[in-house]
């Protein structure tokens, strides 16, 4: 399997351009199941999760053309309404096809997604929502069969503002006659991008005064062309890498307002930022990094996907920082690996205490999840000596051309496969 070899100690400098958002691209691609007309999606990042999603669409009966970050999706015969476990187990977001398939066929059979390294991600919020719309959900032999004689508009209050459940129910409700209201929904920018695409397809979705989503069902949706919004997690990740290496980097092609909390925290920690309409410039800073306490929360709070990279930054602070992880119960798996690199971190349940050190040291570490993997790459960029990061397939799920972009910023990083390459 591929690894990253990183010679640390170099300050990042230059400009890095952000790719399209993975977390917006995936549901937008899935939403094309709601129509039999062609759809063209631009700025789709070439990522492992994206390629898995395209395989799923092909299996279900779509013709896929993917070139230069543009995906063209066309009909290719009759659609299926079931998925094999071999595809579902590769990516939990594959369960999002349930909503469109239920809306179109009144039935979908999907294997339940398996466990996730960073914690439980239950689909019960999805299923209870489908039941409110008139479906029955039966689990048997690892599959969930969702079916309905007739789907009805309803008012649904999510017990937690789940991004996946919000998207799944939103897509399903587009083709249900009447007015469906979703309350306590996720408010991430990726949701807004999905709504924009669905409305371009002919859906009738609007946001109410209290943030609820109001969907007036239509009979059919048509094809559409759309450009995916910039990836706010990639934006924040490169900004944090610039800060941790004491570099001078401009992150371009982004939507700065999507990371407002992060910019405030970076500035409070001592860094100077220039925030433009579509870029953020992190200035070189050689002063002491101030320790902060951050708490992850649904958008617009501090993103759980930036918790691990933020922790890497705090390993170099002057004092003791604290990180509260309030979204996932097992998202500190990168902490022991950072300790191997000289960090001082103690964890207890959802709280991590990070006492800063003067420098990190290179080590052989392994990624356990996507964002934790990037945190280890960040640490390798800062550490003296050569860091080897194993299991980079996790990182490939969410960062397009990572080593190319970091190399362009002056990093010494290369991909290496011990089974194929010479050391």
> What per-residue confidence (pLDDT) applies to 279?
98
Buried b (16+ CB within 10 A) or exposed e, 22-56: bbbbbbbbbbbbbbbbbbbbebbbebbbbebbbbb
Q: What is the pLDDT of residue 142?
A: 82
For 156, the 3-state DSSP assignment is strand
Q: How far apart are CA 195 and CA 278, in angstroms?
A: 21
Question: Residue 115: its pLDDT value, please?
Answer: 42
CATH superfamily name and code, 3-18+230-416: Enolpyruvate transferase domain (3.65.10.10)
Residue with tokens 């999510």: 158
Q: In a structure prediction context, what are the per-residue pLDDT tens digits for the chain, which is 423 residues long?
A: 899 999 999 999 999 999 999 999 999 999 999 999 999 999 999 999 999 999 999 999 999 999 999 999 999 999 999 888 888 776 777 889 999 999 999 999 988 875 444 344 568 899 999 999 999 999 888 888 999 999 999 999 999 999 999 999 999 999 999 999 999 999 999 999 999 999 999 999 999 999 999 999 999 999 999 999 999 999 999 999 999 999 999 999 999 999 999 999 999 999 999 999 999 999 999 999 999 999 999 999 999 999 999 999 999 999 999 999 988 766 799 999 999 999 999 999 899 999 999 999 999 999 999 999 999 999 999 999 999 999 999 999 999 999 999 999 999 999 999 888 754
Name the token pair of 278.
């579509």
**CB of 391 within 8 A of CB of 367?**
yes
- The contacts of residue 187 (CB under 8 Å, 6+ apart) are 161, 211, 298, 299, 300
Closest CA to 76 of 95, 94, 55, 57: 57
Length of the chain: 423
pLDDT of residue 292: 98
Residues facing residue 140 across a β-bridge: 143
* Residue numbers annotated as active site: 116
Angle (deg, nearest 10), helices 232-244 and 370-382: 20
Measured CA distances, 107 to 95, 132, 167, 388 (Å) = 14, 15, 18, 47
Beta bridge partners of 300: none
Residue spans per domain, the chain: 3-18+230-416, 22-227
CA 340/CA 398 separation, integer angstroms: 24
Token representation of residue 314 = 């705090």
What residue has token string 């695409």?
197
| Cα–Cα nearest to 18, from 347, 417, 405, 285 | 405
Cα–Cα distance list, 1 to 16, 115, 306, 387 (Å):
27, 22, 25, 16
Q: Is the pTM here over 0.75, yes or no?
A: yes
Which backbone phi and psi does 153 adopt, to 5 degrees?
A: -60, 150
* CATH H-level, domain 22-227: superfamily: Enolpyruvate transferase domain (3.65.10.10)
Domains 3-18+230-416 and 22-227 fall in the same CATH topology: yes
What is residue 117's predicted lDDT score, i.e. its pLDDT?
43
The pairing of beta strand 13-17 with beta strand 248-252: parallel
């Amino acid at each position: 399997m591929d690894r990253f070899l990183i010679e640390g100690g170099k300050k990042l400098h230059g400009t890095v351009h952000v790719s399209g958002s993975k977390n917006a691209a995936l549901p937008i691609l899935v939403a094309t199941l709601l129509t039999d007309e062609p759809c063209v999606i631009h700025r789709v990042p070439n990522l492992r999760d994206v390629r898995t999603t395209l395989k799923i669409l092909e299996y279900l009966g779509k013709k896929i053309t993917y070139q230069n970050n543009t995906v063209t999706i066309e009909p290719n015969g009759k659609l299926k309404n079931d998925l094999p476990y071999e595809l579902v187990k590769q990516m939990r977001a594959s369960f999002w096809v349930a909503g469109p398939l239920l809306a179109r066929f009144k039935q979908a059979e999907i294997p339940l997604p398996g466990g996730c390294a960073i914690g439980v991600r239950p689909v019960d919020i999805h299923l209870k929502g489908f039941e409110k719309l008139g479906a029955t959900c039966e689990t048997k032999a690892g599959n969930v069969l969702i079916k309905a004689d007739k789907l009805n508009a309803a008012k649904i209050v999510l017990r937690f503002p789940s991004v996946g459940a919000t998207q799944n129910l939103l897509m399903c409700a587009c083709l249900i006659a009447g007015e469906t209201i979703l309350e306590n929904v996720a408010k991430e920018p990726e949701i807004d991008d999905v709504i924009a695409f669905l409305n371009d397809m002919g859906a009738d979705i609007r946001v109410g005064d209290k943030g609820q989503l109001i969907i007036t069902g239509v009979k059919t949706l048509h094809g559409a062309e759309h450009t995916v919004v910039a990836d706010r997690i990639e934006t924040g990740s490169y900004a944090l890498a610039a800060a941790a290496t004491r570099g001078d980097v401009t992150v371009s092609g982004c939507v700065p307002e999507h990371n407002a909390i992060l910019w405030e925290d970076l500035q409070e920690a001592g860094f100077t930022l220039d925030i433009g309409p579509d870029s953020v410039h992190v200035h070189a800073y050689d002063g002491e990094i101030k320790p902060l306490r951050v708490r992850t929360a649904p958008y617009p709070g501090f993103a759980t996907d930036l918790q691990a990279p933020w922790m890497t930054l705090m390993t170099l602070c002057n004092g003791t920082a604290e990180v509260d992880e309030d979204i996932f119960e097992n998202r500190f798996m990168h902490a022991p690996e950072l300790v191997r690199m000289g960090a001082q971190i103690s964890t207890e349940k959802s709280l991590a205490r990070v006492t800063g050190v003067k420098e990190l040291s290179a080590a052989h570490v392994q990624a356990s999840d996507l964002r934790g993997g990037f945190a280890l790459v960040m640490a390798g960029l800062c550490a003296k000596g050569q860091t080897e990061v194993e299991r980079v397939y996790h990182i490939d799920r969410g960062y397009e051309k990572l080593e190319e972009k970091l190399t362009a910023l002056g990093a010494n990083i290369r991909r290496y496969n011990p089974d194929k390459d010479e050391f």
